[in-house]
A and B are shown apart, each in its own frame.
Chain A
Amino acid sequence: MIHSLFLINASGDIFLEKHWKSVVSRSVCDYFFEAQERATEPENVPPVIPTPHHYLISVLRHRIYFVAVIQSEVPPLFVIEFLHRVVDTFQDYFGVCTEAAIKDNVVVVYELLEEMLDNGFPLATESNILKELIKPPTILRTMVNTITGSTNVGEQLPTGQLSVVPWRRTGVKYTNNEAYFDVVEEIDAIIDKSGSTITAEIQGVIDACVKLTGMPDLTLSFMNPRLLDDVSFHPCVRFKRWEAERILSFIPPDGNFRLLSYHVSSQNLVAIPVYVKHNITFREGSSQGRFDLTLGPKQTMGKAVESVLVSSQLPRGVLNANLNPSQGTYTFDPVTKLLTWDVGKINPQKLPSLKGTMNLQAGASKPDENPTINIQFKIQQMAISGLKVNRLDMYGEKYKPFKGIKYMTKAGKFQVRT
């Protein structure tokens, strides 16, 4: 199982280590540093690195490498999943997951890690349970603790841990009972030069924030459940019921959680909400290139496309760019050659455009590669797959909760080739 954990920052310092079995010398990380040196980009470090006696499995998040050391045959996914869970927990506890935050809370971090893993076996990873065992630091609590001398470690066995609903603690009480659901869809797409879609798929999630008293039993039904043929559920969802009736039936955890994530594959027709007209050309023998980009909304069901951000990695030969945006601002970083254009909202009447010239190194030959354009955007109040919640019912409790549902579509990896 998981032997040790090392946290390494962007400059290559090990700033935290934790061992669950015998102590593994931190020199084992030298293999990691070697791999890091070989990789051109920080994210290109291979996730599984063999060393003579151990295996290093790492994830990179928030510019921190979380390197787990294992010694025997352990499913790597198990380790990677766990590491991501550690990061999520830190983020949950400290708001951000940075080196500074971890150092500021090093004792809590240590307590958490000890609670999450025992002898390398995961012990408690549900944030609900962890929060009962170790209270998250808040300014108020630290103040109170210093005055009263009380601690932020729970004295009682977490209630949920052994019940049939381990994800929910008992005795939850709220004055305002509310349940909010966010349907968030990310659209991943590759569009080719001519504007036709090569692949497009949707990754959707339903995140919930449920603050309900007691042990509520919820059912959520959809207008078009047939869309959901590839789903991953939170453990609280009763799978049998879904199989039979296509209804989500569950006793929710308390607080924020991800109810389900789903995937609408490229085999279904995926609507593409924006289009790009582009003309990026370099001429042989000329030290100038033309850059011409126009964005427009496509299938958005009348909703506005907002927070549009265009970025593109221009060829290495480009020295600088002289462009003129019809709206928003653009920047070009001459070192990384990254062009970003913060467009804002797309107005269908007056399409945003970015036009101008790029200057190449004098005498350099025409660049071989065509830049790819990356687009980010948001569309509120719409799920691009067309998924719609029909109704939410609550059983098991008497009170009437306040219910809300919100839809949003975002661009995931949305790429346009030129």
Chain B
Amino acid sequence: MTDSKYFTTTKKGEIFELKAELNSDKKEKKKEAVKKVIASMTVGKDVSALFPDVVNCMQTDNLELKKLVYLYLMNYAKSQPDMAIMAVNTFVKDCEDPNPLIRALAVRTMGCIRVDKITEYLCEPLRKCLKDEDPYVRKTAAVCVAKLHDINAQLVEDQGFLDTLKDLISDSNPMVVANAVAALSEIAESHPNSNLLDLNPQTINKLLTALNECTEWGQIFILDCLANYTPRDDRESQSICERVTPRLSHANSAVVLSAVKVLMKFMEMLPKDLDYYGTLLKKLAPPLVTLLSAEPELQYVALRNINLIVQRRPEILKHEMKVFFVKYNDPIYVKLEKLDIMIRLASQANIAQVLAELKEYATEVDVDFVRKAVRAIGRCAIKVEQSAERCVSTLLDLIQTKVNYVVQEAIVVIKDIFRKYPNKYESVIATLCENLDSLDEPEARAAMIWIVGEYAERIDNADELLESFLEGFHDESTQVQLQLLTAIVKLFLKKPTETQELVQQVLSLATQDSDNPDLRDRGYIYWRLLSTDPVAAKEVVLAEKPLISEETDLIEPTLLEELICHIGTLASVYHKPPSAFVEGSRGVQHKRLPGSAGSGESVESPDTGSAAGASDAPPAVIPSQGDLLGDLLNLDLTPPATTGPPPPATSGLQLGAMDLLGGGLDSLMGDESEPPPIPLRTDTPQSPQVLHQSPSPPDYSPTELGGDLGGSSAMGAGFGAPPPAAAAAPFSAPVSGGLDDLFDLGGGVGMPMGAYSPPKTVWLPAMKGKGLEISGTFARRAGVIQMEMTLTNKAMSVMTDFAIQFNRNSFGLAPAGPLQVLTPLSPNQSIEVALPLSTVGPVMKMDPLNNLQVAVKNNIDVFYFSCQYPISMLFVEDGKMERQVFLATWKDIPNDSEAQFQIADCRLSSDAASNKLQGSNIFTIAKRTVDGQDMLYQSTKLSNGIWVLAELRVQTGNPNFTVCLKCRAPEVAQCVFQSYEAVLKN
């Protein structure tokens, strides 16, 4: 007799038959019928038509029957709300039953019936059950509050259930405590700021006591709750750690991982020289290793978390490399994760072992895994310098296997190795060239072409090799086409005599026969460069490349910190902050690691740029490109035409741009016998600017293009590891050239302290003002924008009745009060006035953005003048962005909206610069140092709520700073940059 019999009745009158059975007098028959109903329900059949009949069976002493009816009710009450009311009475009665099991069951089931009308009746029984003498009922009731909250949050608050729930945290029974914590945590999730779980040392103590005695699941809830607490000092931190450590030996892996989270977080507060700190580190390793012997699904989650942990604290698992070795029957998702961690743990000490393993993996069957293994060898070479040679020879061995995808993958990684160790392993090029024909994947082809172009001078038949690729130029993917173009130009610069034809061929292929804008633009640029100044072309195209950084895929430190706080959660599996994927409006609080005691630990190395590149493809949408373009064109293109012959060119682009603009085509016929000038199309003058904005193709040589284009970092993003430094390039004068007059604003001596304010300049000369001279400046003092003016009477008569008005302007500046000139201004007298300004006036976009048109009236006449204010005075005091928010925003803003500027001749250290900028409300959020270059990440907020994010790069010993600005309103970038310059130089 099994339950499967319930499935066998598939006759037509099934429902009818069941109905009859349900209404039978015989208990046994009834029960059988209910079982049949349940069975149909489980397989998804609709048996809701039987609702009244099933509910009729509810009033019974038979517990099993009761439970079955409850099961049914929970499923169908929603669809039959009116009928469900029929059940209420039984529920209320059951809540008074002497048997705690029945009381609990009733309150539990009632909470599961998601019908508004029922919830009203639920309140009273629930209140009683929350205070029930039996802890089993109390703990069930605690969960019920969470259920009710999910259905009707307001009701729960009005009825004061939340407070009762908070009281339960102090309950004598650990199970009740655990459930109360679980319920509160769930409720708190939908009320991020409700402060429901108000943790203080007393409650923490209670939780820790309950932790030892409650069930494994309760322990998880409590540990997760503990992880949200921030201890007051390192001693408290240590005592919590001590009480949590025994959980590491729990059989339930979720308990273990939650305990690891608490420890990882609180460890931050412990001084590193403490003995206990070392003990704790040692204790963390074994449980993590043990997780890897569990079922594969558990392993996967554990590995994703270990990946975070080894990035934060590599010392914990540095001796445990072997447990990450891949077994051939591991599921693929486990294999790939293990591989990742192996590379993270690779060091000089264990590299030999790791390499031997990786080589072994490269002969496995699974193609994805093999590819990743080959890549891993390349990453090892880049990470552990001492092993590079070994890695290269391993890769060569693999190439000898002639397995197609292994060879291709190997070539891709060898290219990276060349980038990291230039002029070291070029001897292998010959071997690589042998495999030219077998390459059919674009990435591998592009890599090979890059290698040929880069080392053209050492490859005798480089021209032949490249020419062979050229034959099918139009069938290649963009990646390969671009690479081929660059490689041939390189080749030409290195061996100009033999390869003229080739370069001409590729240039015409790229510019005339291709409809890909990126390819065409790059083609034009090379063409211009080559035709105008080959020396400059050489400098640009063959520029020294910065080495690629070793850790290309580390998680950005602020994100890592946040993820460490989320160990064991979905966030840790996805390596994304919860805010990035948690559903809907539930605001998620960003968690941070507590500051560590007594450590000046420098932040680990990764860079934001690469993090963005590694995680997801950057969003390719360009907002309002038209506007932006218009702006830039306005700003840039006019001045050079009037400034006459440009100074001797240092940057190829500048010269190229000049030519295009001036239309001086005759100068294109340079000293060499060069390709003929390009037929100028109507749109060509724009092309350098267009390139600035356009989403860039993936490229292997960011420097070259970076050099060309003044470093749009999108160019770099396509490449695995674009060190932002790649973009440091002789920046295009054309962009800033036209604004010289604006820079004048920034000249002169400024205030030593506080917000920068430019010196006063004459706005209204006496000539135009009928004797009234106005000079003035703007300042931000204590959060108030002030227009400070000196009014001088150079006329012969007394001036009175001063008034001031502004025209509509970009940021809605308006006088906050009348112009206070109380006494009449007698001849030859000056008066200082400070006019507070508000930013709530009418708005109209001005050109330039910071232009302000002012009308001043006195007893003689009305005078008009315009002046430009430094945008820095609009920087508000609360412009400091949260690190995570910053990071997210930075990634979120498309690279095209990034503008880069150079500040020449600024002799400040990065710290001094940071201080100075802070005075003007430009806040430094993070700083890191890469290769002697300090990167300051800064944010500032304008009075109208526009955020501007900046990356300021300061190279020690180099007086030229580079500022990269990202803003959702790219128009302001120029003005912000001026402020940067002005502030830094004063």
Hey, which chain A residues are within 8 Å of B150, CB to CB? 21
Would A76 and B39 be within 8 Å (CB), given that A119-B111, A232-B251 are in contact?
no
Q: Which residue of A lies closest to B35 (CB)?
A: A107
Asked if B365 is at the interface (CB within 8 A of a chain A CB), the reply is: yes
Q: Assess the A106–B301 pair: CB atoms within 8 A.
A: no
A75-B254, A118-B140 known; A199-B325 Cβ under 8 A: yes
Q: Which residues of B contact A26 (CB under 8 A)?
A: 44
Residues of A within 8 A of B215 (CB): 122, 125-126, 166, 235
A residues near B100, Cβ cutoff 8 Å: 157
Cβ-defined contact, A18 with B63, below 8 A? no
In the assembly, what is the distance between CA of A190 and CA of B253, in Å?
A: 25
Assess whether B401 is in contact with A59, with CB atoms less than 8 Å apart.
no
* Residues of B that sit less than 8 Å from A by CB: 1-4, 6-7, 27-28, 31, 35, 38-39, 42-44, 62-65, 67-68, 71, 75, 78, 99-101, 108, 111-112, 114, 134-136, 140, 143-144, 146-147, 150, 173, 175, 179, 182-183, 186, 189, 213, 215-217, 220, 224, 246, 249-254, 256-258, 286-287, 289-290, 293, 295-298, 300-302, 319-320, 322-323, 325, 327-329, 331-333, 353, 356-357, 360, 363-366, 401, 403, 568-571, 573-574, 578, 581-583, 586
Partner of B62, one of A74, A151, A313: A151
Known: A156-B101, A201-B323, A232-B256. A17 touches B44 (CB 8 A): yes
Bound together, the chains give a CA A151 to CA B327 distance in angstroms of 49
CA A260 – CA B249 in complex, angstroms?
9
Known pairs A43-B331, A153-B67, A232-B256; list 12 more (Cβ under 8 Å): A48-B301, A73-B582, A77-B254, A106-B39, A110-B38, A111-B64, A114-B71, A149-B27, A155-B99, A156-B99, A266-B323, A370-B363
* Chain A residues within CB distance 8 Å of chain B: 1, 14-23, 26, 39-41, 43-44, 46-48, 50, 53, 55, 57-61, 71-78, 80-82, 84, 100, 103-111, 114, 118-119, 121-122, 125-126, 142-143, 146, 149, 151-157, 161-162, 164, 166, 188, 190, 192, 198-199, 201, 203, 229-235, 239-240, 243, 258, 260-261, 263, 265-267, 313, 316, 368-370, 372, 374, 413, 415, 417
A77 touches B296 (CB 8 A): no
Residues of chain A contacted by B403 (CB below 8 angstroms): 368
Q: Would A374 and B42 count as touching, CB distance under 8 A?
A: no
Q: How far is the CB of B456 from chain A (nearest CB, A)?
A: 33
Q: Cβ of B569 and Cβ of A76 under 8 Å apart?
A: yes
- A selection of 8 A-B contacts at a CB cut-off of 8 Å is A26-B44, A44-B331, A44-B332, A47-B296, A84-B298, A229-B286, A263-B293, A368-B401
**B147 engages A263 (CB within 8 Å):** no
- Please tell me if the beta carbons of B217 and A118 are within 8 angstroms of each other in the complex: no
Q: Specify which chain A residues have a CB less than 8 angstroms from the CB of B147 in the assembled complex.
A: 21, 119
A107 & B333 in contact (Cβ 8 Å cutoff): no
CA distance A106 to B909 in the complex (A): 73
Q: Is the CB of A190 within 8 A of B325?
A: yes
Q: In the bound complex, do residue B573 and residue A48 qualify as a contact, i.e. CB atoms below 8 Å apart?
A: yes
Q: Which residues from B are CB-within-8-Å of A14?
A: 44
In the complex, what distance in Å separates the CA atom of A118 from the CA atom of B298? 23
Complex CA gap A53/B581 in Å reads 10
A121-B143, A151-B62 known; A265 and B301 CB under 8 Å? no
What residues of A have a CB within 8 angstroms of the CB of B175 in the complex? 161-162, 166
The CA of A156 and the CA of B216, in the complex, are separated in Å by 23
Task: Name the residue on B nearest A115 (C-beta).
Answer: B67
- A302 and B351 CA atoms in complex are apart in Å by 38
CB-defined contacts of A53 to chain B, threshold 8 Å: 583
CB pair A71–B295 under 8 Å, yes or no, is no
Instruction: Give the residue among B27, B111, B363 with the most A Cβ atoms within 10 A.
Output: B363
Given that A153-B64, A190-B327, A203-B293 are contacting pairs, would A75 and B258 also be in contact in the complex, using a CB cutoff of 8 Å? yes
Query: Once the chains bind, are B28 and A263 in contact (CB under 8 Å)?
Result: no
CB pair B135 A162 closer than 8 Å: yes
Residues on B with beta carbons closer than 8 Å to the beta carbon of A19: 75
Contact of A107 among B3, B111, B146, B360 (CB under 8 A): B3
Chain B nearest CB from A386 CB (Å) reads 18
- Give min CB distance, A399 to chain B, whole Å: 29
User: What is the CA–CA distance of A415 and B62 in the complex, to the nearest angstrom?
Assistant: 56
> In the bound complex, how far is the Cα of B173 from the Cα of A331, in angstroms?
59
User: Closest chain A residue to B296 by CB distance?
Assistant: A43
Q: How far is the CB of A295 from chain B (nearest CB, A)?
A: 19
Q: Is the CB of A77 within 8 A of B64?
A: no
Q: Flag if B570 contacts A369 (CB, 8 Å).
A: no
Distance, CA A138 to CA B421, complexed state (A): 71
Residue of A nearest to B173 (CB): A162
Residue pair A198, B570 in contact (C-beta under 8 Å): no
User: Are the C-beta atoms of B39 and A107 separated by less than 8 Å?
Assistant: yes
Find out whether the CB atom of A46 lies under 8 angstroms from the CB atom of B333: yes
User: Smallest Cβ distance from B406 to chain A, in angstroms?
Assistant: 8
Tell whether, in the assembled complex, residue A75 and residue B569 are in contact, meaning their CB atoms are under 8 Å apart.
yes
B4 touching A235, Cβ below 8 Å: no
CB–CB A104/B2 < 8 A = yes
What chain A residues lie within 8 Å of B35 (beta carbons)? 107
B583: A residues at CB distance < 8 A: 53, 71-72
A368–chain B nearest beta-carbon distance, Å: 5
CB of A16 to closest CB in B, whole Å: 5
Please tell me which one of the listed residues A50, A122, A233 contacts residue B581 in the complex, with CB atoms under 8 A apart. A50
**What A residues does B357 contact at CB under 8 A?**
198
Closest residue of chain A to B246 (Cβ to Cβ) is A239
A265 engages B289 (CB within 8 Å): yes
Q: How far is the CA of A230 from the CA of B256 in the complex (A)?
A: 12
In the assembled complex, the Cα of A72 lies from the Cα of B182 at a distance in Å of 13
Task: Specify which chain A residues have a CB less than 8 angstroms from the CB of B111 in the assembled complex.
Answer: 119
Contact residue among A110, A155, A234 (Cβ-Cβ distance under 8 Å from B42): A110
Closest to A72 in B: B189
Which residue in chain B gives the minimum CB-CB distance to A109? B42
Do A230 and B224 form a contact, CB below 8 Å, given A18-B42, A104-B3, A369-B364? Answer: no
Give CA–CA (A164, B114) in the complex, Å: 35
In the complex, what's the smallest C-beta–C-beta distance from B706 to chain A, in angstroms?
Answer: 36
* Minimal Cβ-Cβ distance residue in A for B357: A198
Contact flag A230-B297 (CB < 8 Å), given A73-B578, A103-B7: no
- Our pick among A80, A109, A151, A374 for the contact of B298 (Cβ within 8 Å) is A80
Which A residues are in CB contact (< 8 Å) with B246? Answer: 239-240, 243
Q: Are B136 and A157 in contact (CB under 8 A)?
A: yes
Q: Collect the chain B residues with CB atoms within 8 Å of residue A105's CB.
A: 2-3
- Tell me which of B42, B78, B570 contacts A17 (CB under 8 A): B42
What 10 A-B pairs come out closest when comparing CB atoms?
A: A230-B286, A104-B2, A151-B64, A47-B297, A153-B64, A77-B254, A122-B217, A199-B322, A78-B254, A232-B251
- Give B287's nearest chain A residue, CB to CB: A230
Instruction: List chain A residues, Cβ under 8 A from B140.
Output: 118
Q: Which residue of A lies closest to B403 (CB)?
A: A368
A58 to B333, CA, bound (A): 13
B residues within 8 A CB of A203? Answer: 293
The distance from the CB of A24 to the nearest CB of chain B, in whole angstroms, is: 12
Q: Within the complex, which residue of B43, B44, B570 is in contact with A74, where a contact is CB–CB below 8 Å?
A: B570
Select one of A20, A76, A78 contacting B217, CB under 8 A: A78
Residue of B nearest to A124 (CB): B215
Instruction: Tell whether, in the assembled complex, residue A232 and residue B327 are in contact, meaning their CB atoms are under 8 Å apart.
Output: no
> In the docked arrangement, what's the CA distance between A369 and B253, Å?
36
Please state if A374 and B329 are interface contacts (CB–CB under 8 Å): yes
A73 touches B289 (CB 8 A): no
User: Given A104-B4, A157-B136, A265–B323 Cβ distance below 8 Å?
Assistant: yes
Q: B301 to chain A: which residues have CB within 8 Å? A: 47-48, 76-77, 80
Q: Which of B42, B62, B333 has the most A CB atoms < 10 Å from its CB?
A: B42
User: Which partner residue on chain A sits nearest B353 by CB separation?
Assistant: A198
